[in-house]
Amino acid sequence: MLPTDAEEFVYLDRLVRTLHALNYLTQPVRGNLLLRVHARHILSVPANHGLAFEEILRPCGLFPDQITLEIDTDRVSDPAHFIRAVASYRSRGYAIAVSHFGRTTLDFAFLAALQPAIVKLDKRLLAARRPLERIIADIHALGARVLIEGIDSGRLRRHAGLQHIDLLQAHAPLTRPAGIRVAADAGNWARLDAAA
């Protein structure tokens, strides 16, 4: 059953992040935990962003400085509230990662106001074959690291090195059973693979 109102949505979003945090605790090697926070959650909570989640994390032995919250800033309906919310998260010790940057716009003023530690470039921006050097330099000038996501390959790693990408979020390639075709957006994936 999907959440029907803002309160249920906030509860579900926190629950999912808590499950990821508990799974993280079972891992033998731990780095900084990257957890997504839905924009609807951010816009639904009026103030004190991060406080409730911090109270959930502490009994588990986790602290905000071990967590990077990944947020999608695309099509945010209330930028001022969003900026205040992200400032609240940062004041509690959470690092911020902006995901899907460049999907529909390159809003560097909004990005600067959010002060993220990490900016994940959107796959569509990577597939567009537009020059990335200036975009990456502008992100670095804000003090943020640049991250790209893709299928783990030598090409992806080489591309990241050539483009001055700081971080890779790589995953194993998925195999499809014979006879199954992927119809949606196949051209963009081919261009992304070629770019990587």
Let me know: does 63 contact 57? Beta carbons within 8 Å: yes
Q: Given a cut of 50, is residue 193 above it in pLDDT?
A: no
Structural domain boundaries in the chain: 6-195
Q: Is 29 helix (H, G, I), strand (E, B) or coil?
A: coil
Sheet holding 95-101, edge to edge: 33-37, 67-72, 95-101, 118-121, 145-151, 167-171
Tokens found for residue 130: 């537009």
- pTM for this model (two decimals): 0.77
- Taking only the tens place, the pLDDT of each residue in 140-162 is 999 999 998 877 777 777 777 77
Terminal CA-to-CA distance of the chain, rounded, Å? 38
53 CA to centre of own chain: 18
* Better-predicted residue by pLDDT, 131 or 191: 131
- At a CB cut-off of 8 Å and minimum separation 6, what does 168 contact? 147, 148, 149, 150, 152, 156, 157, 160
Confidence at 195, pLDDT banded by 50, 70, 90? very low
Q: How is residue 77 annotated by DSSP?
A: S
Of the candidates 133, 123, 135, the residue with the CA atom closest to the CA atom of residue 194: 123
Q: Per residue in 58-104, pLDDT tens? A: 888 889 999 999 999 887 889 999 999 999 999 999 999 999 999 98
pLDDT in tens, 101-131: 999 889 999 999 999 999 999 988 888 877 8
Q: pLDDT tens, 18-59?
A: 787 778 878 887 788 888 888 887 888 778 887 888 888 888
Q: How many angstroms separate the CA atoms of 164 and 97, rounded?
A: 18
Under CATH, what is the fold of the domain 6-195? TIM Barrel (3.20.20)
Q: Collapsing DSSP states into helix, strand and coil, what is residue 109?
A: helix
